[in-house]
Structure formats: structure tokens, C-alpha cells
Homo-oligomer: A and B are copies of this chain.
């Protein structure tokens, strides 16, 4: 199959690879009952301790409305709690006790998926990937 000409589009390449990798991680996280995207959000919330919906979205480069809805799902699952901020416009998000447990429960499954990738990709390539993706995100900010 003609793999060459297909792949000048950086965006198409990324989307396709992300589908493949997301499927890979999601299937491995499935016993824990959460998806990779949820795992990422929970992790970011944990590290921040407390942060607003908007801050969370910015950190993950999601549209605000996407962050609102994703937080809403996590709240319905009982994994996060939300409280009005001192600034009443803001809604602050924290992990619930259940959310902390869920992260712990999911961690070994994530670790297994992650180490499969790390084993299959040379360490320097993984570092290159991080660097390139960071650079791409900077480029996406321009103008």
C-alpha cells in the first residue's frame, strides 16, 4: 500500500497515530474502568491539587467547552469534586477520595502499556518524540 504520498500531512499523521495509540492504551486501561484521556485529566488534577476548569483545559490544550464537559463526566463518575472559586466565575476542581483510589487502581495498567511502548521504542526516540511534540504545540500557537 502506498504509504509515502499519504504522509506529508503532519496533522493527518498525528491523528492517525493517536487513534492507534489511544486504542492501545484504552484497551489496557479498560479493567480499571477509565480511558487514557480521563487518566490524563485525573493526573493533572492530582498534580495541581486544585485548579479551575479553564486552567485544566489550557494545560491540556482543550477548548474550554471540552474541559467543562470532560470535568462534568468525571464528576458524575465521582472521581472529582468541584467548588466555586473565590472568584465566583471560576469552578475549582479537585480529586475526590474515590478519584485518588481510581488513579492508584489504574496506574499498574497504565504502567504496563507505557513500558511496552518504552521497550519498543529506543529511549532516544521517545525523547525526540517529546521534543518534537512540544515544538509542534509551540508552532500551533503562532498567530
Which of A's residues lie within 8 Å of B, judged by CB? Answer: 1-2, 5-25, 36-37, 39-40, 43-44, 47, 59-63, 110, 113-114, 116-118, 120-121, 125-126, 128-142
Q: Is the CB–CB distance between B15 and A22 below 8 Å? A: yes
How many chain copies does the complex carry?
2
Q: Across the interface, do B133 and A120 meet the contact criterion of CB distance under 8 Å?
A: no
Q: Is the CB of B19 within 8 A of A60?
A: yes
For chain A, what secondary structure do more than half of its interface residues adopt (helix, strand, loop), or is it mixed? helix
Whether A136 contacts B60 in the complex (CB less than 8 A), given A8-B114, A10-B129, comes out as: no
A113 to B110, CA, bound (A): 34
Partner of A10, one of B14, B23, B117, B139: B117
Known: A11-B36, A47-B6, A129-B10. A120 touches B142 (CB 8 A): yes
